[in-house]
Amino acid sequence: MGFSRAARDELARIMPERRCCQLAELAGLAYIDGRLTPQGYDLIVGQAAAARMAFRLLKQLYQPYMEIRVRRRVRFSKHNVYTIRIPSQPRLRRIVGGLQGVQQRYTKGRWGRPCCRKAFLRGVYICRGSLTNPRKNYHLEIVTDSFQQAAVIQSLMETFGLAPGVVQRKKHVALYFKDGEQISQLLNLLGGHNAVLSLENVRVVKGMRNQVNRLVNCETANMDKTLEAAYRQAENIKLIEEKGWFPSLSPDLREVANLRLQYPYASLKELGEMLDPPLSKSGVNHRFRKLEAIAEEIREEKTR
Ligand SMILES: [Zn+2]
């Protein structure tokens, strides 16, 4: 099962304990996709999980008479459309009043209890949210139908310290997160603890991989530099030898020159340890610089 669907199904299995939260979650589910019609109240959703959750909450809160229809979307045949209809009946007014009461409070920025705010957001997410597999990239979004809806949800998220981006797409306005940390925070807030765990696993692995890559790059760069220097030292010594200057070198210089030719890949530190008495890395480097200067002189001679 896909990451997105698993997260949604997990969230849709949570039944809030308190009545205030149950109503808030139902209001969240119906926030974008619910409407009053001449026949009653329709909730038309594209996610089976959303339809299931709405049905359970309505039953729990109001026990209304409901009709449920599943229709295959013609043009986008992969998805079904679920309609939960509450036909006109005596308790319809109370149901609509309850839903609109919560929605209007949030539209006016009267946030009330955090428990209800979370439940409302969960309802919205179950209906309209989706999540990209974090192995690919971090992306969570909630698609709304208007800037006003997006603004309400954005402000609601901000009460929890979350800062979604907003983008317009043809007929829709989407709220999105691209930061793994914020996505994890939101899922945690909504109660999607398994989703958070899988996300965090991916984040740990990705983090480790980046770290290992950085280390490897760093070591390769250093190794390249060391090898490059060693190669240059050997070239200098060969040139000095070729031109017959080797016997005139001081014993100190001849000593490291011989070692370098014998151990072309050894580091300066390793060469220093082979000397008797041992010499520090900078001491060895100093001798190679003298050899370099002599080789440079020979090269200049040649070009003159
Ligand atoms: Zn509550």
Q: Considering the chain, what is the average pLDDT of its residues?
A: 90
189 CA distance to ligand 1 centroid (A)? 14
Fold type of domain 3-191: Endonuclease I-creI (3.10.28)
Q: Please write the tens of the pLDDT for every residue from 218-268.
A: 777 777 777 888 889 999 999 998 888 888 899 999 999 999 988 888 889
CA distance 65 to 146: 31
CA distance 63 to 58: 6
pLDDT at 77 over 60: no
The token duo for 163 is 């800062």
Q: Is the peptide bond before 277 cis (omega within 30 degrees of 0)?
A: yes
Which residues, by Cβ under 5 Å, contact ligand 1, an ion?
18, 20-21, 113, 115-116
What is the number of H-type helices and E-type strands within the chain? 11, 8
107 CA distance to ligand 1 centroid (A)? 17
235 CA distance to ligand 1 centroid (A)? 78
pTM for the structure as a whole:
0.70
Band of pLDDT at residue 170, cut at 50, 70 and 90? confident
110 CA distance to ligand 1 centroid (A)? 14
162 CA distance to ligand 1 centroid (A)? 20
149 CA distance to ligand 1 centroid (A)? 21
Band of pLDDT at residue 91, cut at 50, 70 and 90? very high
145 CA distance to ligand 1 centroid (A)? 26
Q: Please write the tens of the pLDDT for every residue from 125-145.
A: 999 999 998 888 899 999 999
> Rounded to the nearest 10 degrees, what angle do helices 114-128 and 147-158 cross at?
140
190 CA distance to ligand 1 centroid (A)? 13
DSSP H helices, 34-179, are 48-61, 92-107, 114-128, 147-158
CB half-sphere exposure, 184, CA atoms < 13 A: 13
Q: Where are the domains of the chain?
A: 3-191, 217-303
198 CA distance to ligand 1 centroid (A)? 27
pLDDT at 29 over 80: yes
Answer positive or negative: Cα dihedral of 203, 173, 188, 80. negative
